[in-house]
Structure formats: structure tokens, C-alpha cells
């Protein structure tokens, strides 16, 4: 799949209430969402023919749109049903699901309150976000130059397209240096997240994770916190300063695409792929695809 451009994949895309052929799902070059990032989206995964926490994702899509000042013209139930039907139509059991909503092309300027709101869903097969062999050893992260913005300067609680510009820049810079991804600080200089995933650390059997006050409280993040607490692990959500990474023993990322991914290195800091991370990897697998759960090594 990696060798085929996304606009040349086969199948169908659900777009504004209709299933259209993949190649025909097009927008105009003067679409407001392209020029001014007035778009919100979700990333979801299907396992065994079921989309994990679908309704939570769709509810967040609606909330992200509300934060950006527009309403999606399809209900949560309608989008949920469209996702399920498209998954069947694509013929996939395990797949990645991408709903998106955006302002159209009626007006092109900063103000575009009269623009039509469009909504589309695409589904394709996307195995592991990170190289599987590297993932088992723990991926390496660069320290990003860009920081997650102050909530007073950007709609940080929305999964909005524009907020990912600095993520792309940071990930590209990291990959150019041989890293898999980058860890971003927030506007105050505190540990925030990776470019597309939340971050956790382990020390003395306790799990620490930054308080999501200027970045998304990920659905996978919340799932993993629940799984950890079921195991009676102590999970602490708090401010984490960069220098604290020197004392952490384990580190991992969580996200729909990343799932649970161990981290072996962040800049000068080193971590082991320890038992807590392995346990949570296995528990997450069992949660999303119980028939394929494997024993922790």
C-alpha cells in the first residue's frame, strides 16, 4: 500500500451522505478547509469488523467542529452508521477509519460563515504506525523544536487540522535525523506529547503522564489508563518537567494509530521496554481484539 498514492486506492468513500468511488471523492482547490484549515477529523481503528469506540470518536468529531464554530450536518448516529456500512462495503475487517468535516468553497477569506459544511469518511488498511521490528525494541524520539500552543492562542481541545502543521514539521525533522518521531513540550516548557500520540512514563511501578490541558486527552490514552488501573497500577496525571525524564525507567506512547508503543530513547534519555509496558501492550491488544491477544513476553 505504501507505494500507491492515497488518491489512487480502490474502493469507496462516504461523502456528504453518498458512497462515491474512491477516485471521484474530490473537492475544489479553493475549498476553505484547504486554505484556512477549517477542518476537523478523527482517526479510528477497526478490529475484526468492529470499529473500536466508534461513538466516542464521532462525538469528539462533533465537539471539535463546535469548537471551530460550525455544525456537522449529520448526527452522531448517522456518522456511526456510515462508518459501519463503509467498512462492510470496503470488505475490511481490520482497517483505519478517517472521518473528516470541513468548510466548503462558497466563500474564500478569513470569514466564511456561510460556507457549506461537508463530511466524508475514508477507510483503508493501515497496519502499524511505526516499524513493527523497531516497535518491539522501543522507538527513538527526537526532541521537537516546536511546542504545543497555549490554549489562549489555538483551539487545543479540538482535533483540528491546523494544529497538526507543527506536528508534521517536527516529525519530518525527527525522521531526517533517523528518529521515528518527536516528543513535544508545551508552551510552558513542560512535557506534552509526541506528534500524534500521548506519552507515559514509568518509575518505581508508578505510571506518570502529563495532564492534557493544552493537547488532546486521547481516547486511547483514557483506555490505557483504565487498563492500567484494572491492574492496580497507580496512574498519576501531572505536570512533568523535561529533566524528570532522566529518572524514568520506561516510556510508551498511546494513540489510535500508535496503539501502545514502547519508547527506548528521547534525545539523551534512555528507557527499557519493561514489564509494565509489555503488560499494557498485551492488555490493549486483548481489549481491542480479544481473539488475537498474545501473551506478554
170 within 8 A of 182, measured Cβ to Cβ: yes
Q: Per the residue annotation, which of 159, 171, 177, 278 is the catalytic one?
A: 159
Helix (H) or strand (E) holding 258: none
Nearest to 217 by CA among 246, 192, 240: 192
118 within 8 A of 16, measured Cβ to Cβ: yes
Q: How far is residue 102's CA from residue 60's CA, in Å, rounded to a whole number?
A: 15
Paired sense of beta strands 206-210 and 234-238, if any: parallel
Nearest to 212 by CA among 157, 261, 251: 157
Q: How far apart are the first and last CA of the chain?
A: 30
The yes-or-no answer on residue 89 being catalytic is no
Q: Is 178 left (phi over 0), alpha (psi -120 to 50) or beta?
A: left
Q: How far is residue 242's CA from residue 245's CA, in Å, rounded to a whole number?
A: 6
Q: Which residues are catalytic?
A: 159
Amino acid at each position: 500500500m505504501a507505494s500507491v498514492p492515497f488518491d489512487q486506492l480502490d474502493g469507496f468513500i462516504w461523502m456528504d451522505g453518498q458512497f462515491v468511488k474512491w477516485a471521484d471523492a474530490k473537492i475544489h482547490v479553493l475549498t476553505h478547509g484547504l486554505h484556512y484549515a477549517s477542518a476537523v477529523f478523527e482517526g479510528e481503528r477497526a478490529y475484526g469488523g468492529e470499529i473500536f469506540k466508534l461513538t466516542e470518536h464521532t462525538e469528539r468529531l462533533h465537539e471539535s467542529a463546535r469548537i471551530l464554530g460550525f455544525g456537522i450536518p449529520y448526527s452522531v448516529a448517522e456518522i456511526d452508521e456510515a462508518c459501519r456500512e463503509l467498512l462492510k462495503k470496503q470488505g475490511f475487517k481490520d482497517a483505519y477509519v478517517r472521518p473528516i468535516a470541513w468548510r466548503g468553497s462558497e466563500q474564500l477569506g478569513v470569514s466564511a460563515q456561510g460556507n457549506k459544511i461537508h463530511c466524508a469518511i475514508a477507510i483503508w488498511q493501515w497496519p502499524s504506525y511505526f516499524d513493527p521490528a523497531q516497535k518491539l525494541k522501543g522507538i527513538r524520539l527526537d526532541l521537537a523544536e516546536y511546542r504545543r500552543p497555549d490554549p489562549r492562542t489555538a483551539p487545543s481541545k479540538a482535533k483540528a487540522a491546523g494544529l497538526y502543521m507543527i506536528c508534521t514539521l517536527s516529525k519530518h525533522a525527527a525522521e531526517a535525523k533517523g528518529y521515528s518521531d518527536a516528543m513535544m513540550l508545551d508552551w510552558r516548557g513542560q512535557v506534552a506529547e509526541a506528534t500524534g500520540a500521548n506519552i507515559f512514563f514509568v518509575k518505581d511501578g508508578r505510571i506518570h503522564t502529563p495532564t492534557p490541558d493544552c493537547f488532546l486527552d486521547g481516547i486511547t490514552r483514557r483506555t490505557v489508563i483504565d487498563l492500567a488501573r484494572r491492574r492496580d497500577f497507580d496512574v498519576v496525571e501531572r505536570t512533568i518537567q523535561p529533566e524528570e525524564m532522566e529518572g524514568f525507567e520506561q516510556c510508551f506512547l498511546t494513540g489510535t494509530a500508535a496503539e501502545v508503543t514502547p519508547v527506548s530513547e528521547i534525545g539523551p534519555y534512555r528507557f527499557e521496554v519493561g514489564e509494565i509496558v509489555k503488560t499494557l501492550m498485551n492488555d490493549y491488544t486483548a481489549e481491542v481484539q480479544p481473539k488475537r491477544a498474545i501473551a506478554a513476553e
